[in-house]
Each structure stands twice: as C-alpha cells, then as structure tokens.
Amino acid sequence: MNQNMPAPLVDRAKEAFGRMAAACPEDGKVLGQYMAALHKKNVIALGEGEAFALTDAEGRNIKATKRTVRLSAENGGLTQPVYNGPFVISAPGYAMLAHAAGAVVMNAPTVTVDGVAQQNPYVRRGPDGSIIEVHCRAMAFRYNEHGQPMVSDRTTIFDTATYTLADMVGKAKRQKDAFKLLPAGMPAPKPAEEWACYRVDEAVNLWMKITHEEVINFLGQVLNRKKKALEFAQTFAQRNALKHLFGLAVVPGQEKNHSISVWDVPVVCWAPSDGGFIRFDTSRYAASTQIIEALTSGKPVALPEAEKPLVISRGTEEMSGTDLDSETDPLENPDIYENASPVDRAAERPLPMAEPHATERENPAPVPVQENTAQTDQAEPAWTPEQMREWNNLCVAREEFPDEYTRALAECGMTEADVTPDSADEINHAISRMLDTAGDVEDI
C-alpha cells in the first residue's frame, strides 16, 4: 500500500476506538460491544428503545423492538381493587402492553356452548326475547422475546341473571329498607303490593320494594347492562385473552401496607417483515384466524415462522357478579375508553377491545357552560378536544353507573357544581378504578 495514501476508514475507526478504549476502558468496552453489534447488523439504534435485526436463511431482515412500558395508577395502567390492597394491571394497562408488544386480539369464528360449536359471540335468550347469557371467545397472539409464537384462547360467559342476583344480594346488605332476604316459606313484607319476589334458591327469596327509589335506579342499571351485554362480554373476553397471553397481573414486590403504584414492564415487539419467517398483521388476518383457530383446537398445523413448540393458553371464565363487600362492578364500560389514541392516559385505554362508536349514542352529551355571575358577557371557555372527550365519556358513565358516579364525586371532593370538562378526567379515573376489578372473574 502507498504510504502517502490515507488508511481505509475502518482502520482509522479502529485506531480511534483503541485510543478511546485506552483512555477510558469501561466506556470503551460498552461502545465496542455496540459497534460490534452494528457491524454484524443485528442491532439498530432507534429514537425510542432498542431494536434487534435478525436475518433469515434467505437474507430477509426481521426486527424486534425492545422497550419499557410504564404502568401506573396515574396513567390508568394499574388499579387498586381493594382499599389499601395490592395494585394490579387494569384493562387499559393490558391494552398498553398489547400496543407495545404488537399483540393481536380477535374474536374466534366459533365458541363451544354445551359441547356444540356456535357462532361467536353466542347469545342465549329467554322466551320473552331477553338476554339470559352471552358466550364470547377471544384469541390473542404475539411472539415472545425468543421469537416463539404464543396464543391465548379464552372464553367468557356473561350470565346476566347471576350477575343481577349477586348485585341485589350486595345491596340487601346496605339497603335493608329496599331489599330483604327472607326464607322461601315466608310471605311478602307489608304492604305486599309494593314488594316483588326474586327467587335465590330453594331456601331463600329476595324481595324488592318496587316503589323505592333505590330499586327503581337499580332496575334501570340492570336494563342498561342487558342492553350492552354483548359489548361487555366481548370486551371482557378480549381483555382476559391479553391477560393470560402476557401472564402478568399483580405488581411484584408489594407487601402488606406497602403498595407499589408504578411498574416498568419490559416488552419485545417483533415487527412484520414481508415474506420473512415472522409476519403477523392485518394483511394476513383471515389466514391467521384459521391458523390460530386450528392451533387452539389441537390440530397439527405448523407455523412457518417458528421451529420451536407453540405455547397455548386455554380457559373459560365466568363473569359471576360483584364483590359483595365493596359492591364494585367488574365490567369495564367500553364507552369510558372511547376515542382513544396511544399518547396519554385517556388514549392508552383498550385500543384492541371491541367498543361502541360515538355515533351509537342516541343523544349527544351536552356541553356544560361555566357560569360567571360577576361577568355575564364573558365568553365560554375553550375546552380542548381531550377535555371534551373526557366529558362525553363522563356523561355516559353518569347514566350507566349512577352509584359509582356519586361515590366518585365524594372521593374527588366535588359536587355537581364542580363537574365540568376540566374536572371530567379526574372523575372518570375514579369511576374506572371502581369498575376495574379482576377479582370477580374466576377461572373454571
């Protein structure tokens, strides 16, 4: 080589690195490992997190992005179902994990009811046409940190009668003038024309005073729940599929009287690669549904994306009612998490979940106007789109769950006069925490 010509760039880079490593060995070691990975083309630096690029036998790149998802009580990712109890992942929290990990959740084509494959979701109705129960089956899919495909197959049963009965028994413990539990052989309380009987079992009847305001409000809630039973069942099935897919629930490291309300969860997301050995996105939705359906049914279908065994989680869960002590609703109302985008706390609520659209509402929520007695000609405040979204969600929650709404106001130290789009976010957060309880769903 002509000594007058400059050395190749790679040689000069090695010499520069050698000088830096000699001056600071510890930093040189870290930088050397990173440069070696870059040279091998298996690490890519991104603006957020870190991405690993692998190459298959045909020379195609497959990228896996590693990042950390922060779940906290503040952003809605964690909830505390029991007062002073441990924090657990909420429905919005599982949606955040799914978004970061590239998990896909979908309804299965069929659901098995009494040993017979039925259309999913399956609705069982009574002679009068009312909904008795809803069976919904959801499947969630992702690749784990090792690139192995994983499937979670969960079936949820929403029994409206059992749910209503559990709620009534809970109210009977506190509203004894409106609900009464009596032996089956005893007559109705007096005046008999104001009491209606609800049979609990062969030994016990539950009587409701139909003229009592608490009973009237409760019956209104029951009708609203039946009206949204299909959405409830689908939302809960998809949430449970994600919960078992990740295998995470309770924040680790918590002790009695020492709760942890922040959890940084590391996740790995394998990005789609056209034609590569890892590809799972909406462009293959139909084919993927058939493949996952076959896998969950135990058929010997091989995925070309992985050579190692597939991890499958199956189960059936029944939505059996409320917690009788705290009287919390185990159902997340999809309307509360409407119009979401993965940016802030309101946006990080369940993106993959089935949720009704704003156009389904019969009457749009009115926009409140802040009154100013001192200056009557003052212009209305300019509410932001985020505040208006929270306000619309609050109007739905106030109608669907009046009891929880009243308790949320008390918890936030507010009155009706304080309820505006500016305060709607705080009230929604309190209602969501009350509604989000995982303890009411038990594995069968």
pLDDT at 138 over 60: yes
DSSP letter at 367? Answer: P
pLDDT of residue 322: 36
Determine what percent of the chain is predicted with pLDDT higher than 90: 1
pLDDT of residue 213: 86
Q: Is the distance from CB of 225 to CB of 331 less than 8 angstroms?
A: yes
pLDDT at 19 over 50: yes
Q: Is residue 48 one of the residues assigned to a domain? A: no
| Highest-scoring range by mean pLDDT, 32-36, 145-149, 186-190 | 186-190
Q: Is the distance from CB of 80 to CB of 433 less than 8 angstroms?
A: yes
As a whole number of angstroms, the distance between CA 318 and CA 233 comes to 10
Q: Is residue 203 one of the residues assigned to a domain? A: no
pLDDT of residue 71: 92
Residue 373 confidence class, pLDDT cut points 50, 70, 90: very low
As a whole number of angstroms, the distance between CA 422 and CA 385 comes to 11
How many CB atoms are located within 10 Å of the residue 29 CB? 11
pLDDT at 310 over 70: no
Q: Is residue 22 one of the residues assigned to a domain? A: no
As a whole number of angstroms, the distance between CA 95 and CA 168 comes to 31
pLDDT of residue 435: 66
Residue 363 confidence class, pLDDT cut points 50, 70, 90: very low
Domain count along the chain: 1
Residue 431 confidence class, pLDDT cut points 50, 70, 90: confident
As a whole number of angstroms, the distance between CA 251 and CA 261 comes to 8
Q: Is residue 104 one of the residues assigned to a domain? A: yes
pLDDT of residue 318: 53
Residue range 154-159: mean pLDDT, rounded: 86
Handedness of CA 75, 81, 84, 86 (dihedral sign): negative
Residue 147 half-sphere exposure toward CB, CA atoms < 13 A = 19
Q: What angle do CA 300, 241, 149 make, to 5 degrees?
A: 40
Q: Is residue 32 one of the residues assigned to a domain? A: no
pLDDT of residue 188: 82
Q: Which of 173, 160, 205 is nearest to 320 (CA)?
A: 160
Q: Which residue range forms the structural domain that includes residue 219?
A: 61-175+212-369+382-443
Residue 311 confidence class, pLDDT cut points 50, 70, 90: very low
pLDDT of residue 375: 41
pLDDT at 422 over 60: yes
Per DSSP bridges, beta strands 88-89 and 104-107 are unpaired
pLDDT of residue 400: 67
* More confident call, 440 vs 117: 117
Q: pLDDT digit string (tens) for 82-123?
A: 777 888 888 788 888 888 888 888 888 888 888 888 888 899
| Highest-scoring range by mean pLDDT, 148-162, 262-276, 351-365 | 148-162
pLDDT at 321 over 50: no
pLDDT of residue 176: 80
pLDDT of residue 372: 42
Q: Is residue 199 one of the residues assigned to a domain? A: no
Of 26-40, 330-344, 376-390, the poorest mean pLDDT is in 330-344
pLDDT of residue 331: 37
Of 99-108, 163-172, 272-281, the poorest mean pLDDT is in 272-281
Q: Is residue 23 one of the residues assigned to a domain? A: no
Residue 349 confidence class, pLDDT cut points 50, 70, 90: very low
pTM higher than the cut 0.75: no
Residue range 127-138: mean pLDDT, rounded: 86
Residue range 379-386: mean pLDDT, rounded: 64
pLDDT of residue 153: 86
pLDDT of residue 168: 81
Residue range 224-240: mean pLDDT, rounded: 82
Q: Is residue 127 one of the residues assigned to a domain? A: yes
